[in-house]
Amino acid sequence: MKRFMFITLLASFGLLLAQDAAGTYKLTGTNVRYTNLARQTTVASIADSYGLGVSLPVASIPINTGFFQLLNGPFNEDNLELGGAFLNVTFNEDGTGTINEGSYYPTTELDEELCATSSTVLPITDDLVYTSNLAPVNYVQNVNYIGLNSLSPFAAANGGSGLLGSISLSQSENLDFFVAGQGAGQLGACQAGFYFDGSPCDASFPGNDCDIYEGCMSAGYVSKGHDIETVEGNGVRDMYVEWHAVDGPLSQSGYGDDLLDPCEDDLCVATADQPQCFELDPETGGIIPSPACTEAGQDLDNIFGIPYLGTTAMNPECGFNSEILGDAASVGAALGGGVAAACESGMQGDADGNGYPDVFDGCVGLEQGYGLPGDQAATMAFIGACTQLGFDEETCTALATLAQQAVEATTICYNVETHDFYPADSADECADGYFFTNAQWDCYGLLMLTYDASALCAVAGDAWVADCVDGDSAGRQFYLMDAQFTPWSGFFTWNALQYTNTGDASFLANDGQWAVSYTHLTLPTKA
What percentage of the chain exceeds 90 in pLDDT?
35
CA neighbor of 22 nearest in space, from 87, 75, 94: 94
Q: How high is the pLDDT of residue 3?
A: 36
Q: What is the pLDDT of residue 242?
A: 96
DSSP, collapsed to helix, strand or coil, labels residue 215 as strand
Quote the pLDDT of residue 187.
61
Of 181, 184, 190, 182, the C-alpha closest to 206 is 184
Name residue 368's amino acid.
Answer: Q
Low-confidence ranges of the chain (pLDDT < 70): 1-19, 112-114, 184-189, 256-270, 276, 292, 295-302, 512-527
Q: Is the pTM of this model over 0.75?
A: no
What b/e string do you get for 180-193 counting C-beta neighbours within 10 Å, with b at 16 or more? bbbbbbeeebbbbb
Determine what percent of the chain falls in helix, strand and coil, rounding each to the nearest 5.
Answer: 25, 35, 40
**What is the model's pLDDT at position 29?**
92
- How many Å apart are CA 353 and CA 355, to the nearest integer? 6
Task: Reply yes or no: is the peptide bond before residue 136 cis, omega within 30 of 0.
Answer: no
Q: How many CB atoms lie within 10 A of CB 445?
A: 23
Q: Give residue 131's pLDDT.
A: 93
Phi, psi of 175 (to 5 degrees): -100, 155
- 336 and 462 in contact (C-beta within 8 Å)? yes
106 and 121 Cβ atoms separated by less than 8 Å: yes
